[in-house]
Amino acid sequence: MPLPNKTLCTIDDIYALPEGERAELIDGQIYAMSPPSYIHQQLVMQISKTIANYIDSNKSPCIILPAPFAVFLNEDTKTYVEPDISVICDKNKLDDRCCNGAPDWIIEIVSPSSIRMDYYTKLFKYHTTGVKEYWVVDPLKELVIVYDFAGDGENTGSYLFTDTIKVSIYKNLHITISELIK
């Protein structure tokens, strides 16, 4: 839910937040972020590890960065997000502080406070700014929604944690969430 604000905010407002307070900025509106749960962090860690192992073993040029890591989706100062997991294959988008432009693959782990943001607001932003693949991982429903924005859409759909999901941006990477959180 956005914090009450009548004017459009910029990245300067995010950087002015008290130390330790996390928020995202979408179209000039600040959205406070709640601390993640244990299962949220386990999912981020295990999924990241799986992807990192694949990247390393296949000598992929991509890099995986878990939150908190700043992503500026647009070339403006009104949209700043911290995806739970970002996979970036164009290292020219990276500098010491952030990713400038859309990552190739973003994964968001849904928490009770982020349902609307992850399923709707970020879906629209990621789709319209050039993210190739977007996963919404919902631990309460044990469900993964996959959006393949760049491919043929073959993998777009809903998957249970027990299903094996093919990653669209990679030829041979398949992930079964239930195997990661035994």
Contact 62, 104 (CB under 8 A): yes
pLDDT at 3: 52
Find how far residue 104's CA is from the centre of its chain. Answer: 10
Contact 61, 89 (CB under 8 A): yes
Domains and CATH numbers, the chain: 36-180 (3.90.1570.10)
pLDDT at 153: 72
Say what the pTM is.
0.92
CA 79 – CA 100 distance, rounded (Å)? 11
**Residue (of 5, 43, 41, 44) closest to 23 by Cα position:** 5
pLDDT at 5: 52
Calculate the dihedral angle through the C-alpha atoms of 155, 158, 164, 166, rounding to the nearest 10 degrees. 20
pLDDT at 4: 56
pLDDT at 146: 96
Residue owning tokens 């990276």: 94
CA-to-CA separations, 120 to 43, 49, 171, in angstroms, rounded: 21, 27, 28
pLDDT tens, per residue, the chain with 182 residues: 555 556 889 889 988 999 888 999 998 999 999 889 999 999 999 999 999 999 999 999 999 999 999 999 987 778 889 999 999 999 999 998 899 999 999 999 999 888 998 999 999 999 999 999 999 999 999 999 999 998 777 678 999 999 999 999 998 999 999 999 87
